[in-house]
Amino acid sequence: AAELMFHRAMGFAPHGGYWRRLRRLASAHALAPGRLAARRRAIGEETVRRVAAAMAHDGAVGVRRLLHLASLDNVMASVFGVGLGELGAGAVSELEEMVGQGYELLGTFNWGDHLPLLRLLDVHGVRRKSRALASRVKVFVSKIIEEHKTRRDAKYGGCDGDGDFVDVLLGLEGEERLEEEDMVAVLWYSNKIQLVRF
């Protein structure tokens, strides 16, 4: 998990001031009941649209795929402020691939986790694959952060914008401010914990 940058995210950060700050952010912003309730209607409308589109195209609905895409779309919209429709087909398939690979790596047995002497051998290639995935995730999430920064500066002169979780993190000041690497880890981890993999 540390290779996937999660050591800077709430679930894997050591207990202390940094962890408490992340917990406050998550409960006040990302997982706040009001924020989740506000998304409920949009989720319902998008689900109805996806079911109708699947019925029109195939005459049947692949429930597993529908739920997977709906969940991914919801998480992207609530955490990053960008729905799947706004990403484009290439970015959506890249995101799906990264999420799938992340879950696969988190579930892969790694001898190095149990026998530290074997960590250097990386028998199953878990560390190598995790580093490669972490690099891809960093590029993907950093691009979204930069787009938010540009939009905020152009629209609001650097003030609070649309109010998604990226905007909340960008709006932090003083001791609460997070470095970009921390934001990438927190955003990706938030994406992962909210996403239900079907």
Q: What is the mean pLDDT of the chain?
A: 81
Tens of pLDDT, residue by residue over 46-80, are 888 889 988 899 888 888 888 888 888 888 887 88
Kindly report which listed range (7-11, 35-39, 192-196) carries the lowest average pLDDT score.
192-196
Which range, 36-40, 73-77, 165-169, has the best average confidence (pLDDT)? Answer: 165-169
Q: How far apart are CA 127 and CA 120, in angstroms?
A: 9
Residue 157 pLDDT class (50, 70, 90 cuts): low
pLDDT of residue 31 exceeding 80: no
Domain-by-domain residue ranges, the chain? 2-194
139: confidence class by pLDDT, cuts 50, 70, 90: very high
Better-predicted residue by pLDDT, 105 or 38? 105
Q: Is the pLDDT of residue 161 over 50?
A: no
What superfamily in CATH does domain 2-194 come from?
Cytochrome P450 (1.10.630.10)
Does 116 score more than 50 pLDDT? Answer: yes
Res. 191 pLDDT band, cuts 50 70 90: low
pTM of the model: 0.77
Q: Is the pLDDT of residue 198 over 50?
A: no
Percentage above 90 pLDDT, the chain: 6
Residue 183 — very low, low, confident or very high, per pLDDT cuts 50/70/90? confident
pLDDT (0 to 100) of residue 85? 78
21-42: average pLDDT: 79
The per-residue pLDDT for 196 is 43
